[in-house]
Amino acid sequence: MTIKLRRYQEEMVAAAHAAHERIDRAAVVAATGAGKTIVIAKVGETSKWGAAGGRRTLIVAHREELVEQNAQKVRDVAPDLRTGVVMAGRNDTQHHVISASVQTLAGEVRRQQIRDVGLVIIDEAHHAAADSYLRVLQHFGCYDGRAKALGFTATMSRGDDKALGDVWQDVVYVKDTAELIAEGFLVRPVAFRVRVDDLDLSGVRKLAGDFSEKGLGAAIEDSMAPKKIVEAMREHAADRQTILFAPLVHTAEMIRDELREGGFTAEVVSAKTPKDQRRAILQAYRDGKIQVLCNAMIFTEGTDLPMTSCVVVARPTMSAALFIQMVGRGLRLWPGKTDCVVLDVVGATGRHRLAAPVELWGNEGVELDDVGPPQDVELTDEQLDDLEEQREVDHALGLDEPEYRDGKLVVEVVDLFEGSDAGWLRTHAGVWFLAAPERYVAVLPRVDGGYAVVWVHRTRTGESDWVMERVSELSYAMAHAEGEVTDDERAALARASRPQWRPGGGFRSPSPRREAEGLGWVVPPDATPGEIRKQLTVAYASTRIDTTLPVWARRG
């Protein structure tokens, strides 16, 4: 019996096949919970460059669990194919589909033993700029036309300065978190930021684009964060299956001990946990015998624990991709599960939101600042009406803010989609664009190959101009587009992405619900302002860009 793919999964497969008719290295971005492993298996089975064409498909991942998971999914999807594993002592080099670890393929001898590979699939494709992956892609001919490469990731973004556009020539399909929530394939996150007044990260060093894990561990362990986690869980997640992310194993153990003292069942899983013990702990978690899984960053990728309905972020990060990976662990569907509580005890939600980061040029885009209340706030009557409307929505959803002072729990509700329209977005026709305050800067595929970069005014027809008429690669076209956006425009975008300080305390932006309903949209009652604003931005940009830019691309 053939596994039935969801409509968007079928679109991913079709986009991958179509891309390989024109380029060698394509990428698909699909949010955590989209079922990319099944899509990987289906592409591996049906690609004419791989198993369907009589050549081998090689699926590469960086963790043992991912290697095993990919192999099993191919067996489930295509039981008639011989699917094997190349990892450590296993060496199934003659199979139709081979799931391999990048560490094993780092050795030239092991690579040489795998022959006639026509398709290389990279799981967690944001790692592909690393030398180990580049050696694999180059060895099997993905840079000289002998083979095709396809990358899958939830976050096409890195924390360092390496350009993913040097690897992936085009992102051919995107399915982000907000879309999957709107279509009913993920649950909605309900985020709370827990204030820890004595947590000071100012002295923590930065390494490889992110905080030093050792420094983070010391800062968290020396603060009230472990006790605040227990208080916050009692308030918001007393009976929820929970995954907690900590920077160090020792930090995870310290928080586990605090949770146990607070009456929770909690265990730590780390890279050093013996396999049998890890399997036993995970099974106990699935059975509900353990409520909280504390880990030091090993559950960020390839972890399928859909019963999770709370995520505790106790690991500060400067990486938007890492933040999205952490939150995404709790958004999968599960019987009886209607949402996922996200408890941020380290200020991560002051910097990141659940956008779909597609950053091919080696940076993380516009950051959200951790800002306090302005000294003077004057809101119009309409803004006050919008704020009151949002309070009513919060109350209906049970999101009223419990706020305790005098050393007790202080919590703020956070819209994880606020500001998600400030980075790269795609129109309904698939055109990448940046939304500056008064114009759109767009990257359009040319009908004769390559890309054009142009800008158009948001509302006034006839106001538009070329940025670059012809660029060969998507990443370089995006780089030109980002360079076109001025510092003043970036500052305005950053201001627009910050939530406003609500009279009486707390962050909240005026809801765009009224604007959307004025356009005749049916807005779900639990949709957040950030989600609605992003949809509005895409709708307005599609009206301007999709109807105008194809004419530009055909000139000259």
Q: For 303-323, what is the mean pLDDT? A: 87
| Residues contacting residue 313 through CB under 8 Å, at least 6 positions apart | 245, 323, 326, 327, 342, 343, 344, 345, 346, 348, 349
**Of the given ranges (48-52, 98-102, 395-399), which has the lowest mean pLDDT?**
395-399
Calculate mean pLDDT across residues 115-137: 90
pLDDT at 404: 41
Residue 149 is predicted with a pLDDT of 95
Block residue for tokens 């569907």: 333
Comparing 28-37, 374-383, 511-520, the range with the smallest average pLDDT is 374-383
Quote the percentage of the chain above a pLDDT of 90.
37
Which secondary-structure segment (H or E) carries 118? strand 117-123
Instruction: Give the predicted TM-score (pTM) of the model.
Output: 0.77
| CA gap 80, 5 in Å, rounded | 18
Per-residue confidence (pLDDT) for residue 389, from 0 to 100: 55
Is 184-352 in the same CATH topology as 7-175? yes
Cβ atoms of 291 and 264 within 8 Å: the answer is yes
Top-confidence residue, 301 or 485: 485
- pLDDT at site 163: 59
Per-residue confidence at 232, pLDDT binned at 50, 70, 90?
very high
Single-letter amino acid code for the residue at 359: E
pLDDT at 356 over 80: no
pLDDT at 147 over 90: yes
User: Which has the higher per-residue pLDDT, 363 or 281?
Assistant: 281
Q: Is the pLDDT of residue 311 over 80?
A: yes
Highest mean pLDDT among 145-159, 199-213, 490-504: 145-159
**Residue 498 pLDDT exceeds 80:** no
The owner of tokens 């091919």 is 360
Give 166-225 pLDDT, tens digit per residue. Answer: 788 888 888 888 888 888 899 999 988 888 888 888 788 877 667 888 888 898 999 999
pLDDT band at 110 (very low <50, low <70, confident <90, very high): very high
How wide is the angle at C-alpha 461 spanned by C-alphas 459 and 466, nearest 5°?
A: 105
Quote the percentage of the chain above a pLDDT of 70: 82
Distance CA(295)–CA(250), nearest Å, equals: 10
Domain residues of the chain, as ranges? 7-175, 184-352, 425-553
In this prediction, residue 495 carries a pLDDT of 63
Each residue of 379-418: pLDDT tens digit? 455 545 554 555 554 444 444 444 444 445 677 778 888 7
* Each residue's pLDDT tens digit, 213-224: 888 889 899 999
Residue 74: CB atoms within 10 Å: 29
What pLDDT does residue 551 have? 54
Please give the CATH architecture assigned to the domain spanning 184-352.
Answer: 3-Layer(aba) Sandwich (3.40)
Is residue 344 scored above 70 in pLDDT? yes
Do residues 255 and 244 make contact, with C-beta atoms less than 8 angstroms apart? Answer: yes
| Residue 358: predicted pLDDT | 65
> What's the mean pLDDT when you consider all of the chain?
82
Cβ(149)–Cβ(142) below 8 Å: yes
In the predicted model, is pLDDT for residue 266 greater than 90? yes
Q: What share of the chain is helix, strand, coil (3-state, %, to 5)?
A: 35, 20, 45
- The answer to whether residues 41 and 78 touch, using CB atoms and an 8 Å cutoff, is yes
Contacts of 37 (CB under 8 A, 6+ apart): 69, 70, 73, 123
**Would the pLDDT of 531 be above 50?**
yes
Q: Does the domain made of 7-175 have the CATH classification 3.40.50.620? A: no
Q: Of 124-138, 158-172, 306-320, where does mean pLDDT reach its minimum?
A: 158-172
Lowest mean per-residue pLDDT among 161-165, 186-190, 422-426, 511-515: 161-165
Single out the residue of 322, 349, 327, 348 nearest to residue 126, CA to CA.
322
Whole-angstrom distance, CA of residue 444 vs CA of residue 454 = 8
Rounded to an integer, the average pLDDT of 79-95 is 92
84-98, 215-229, 366-380, 530-544: least confident range: 366-380
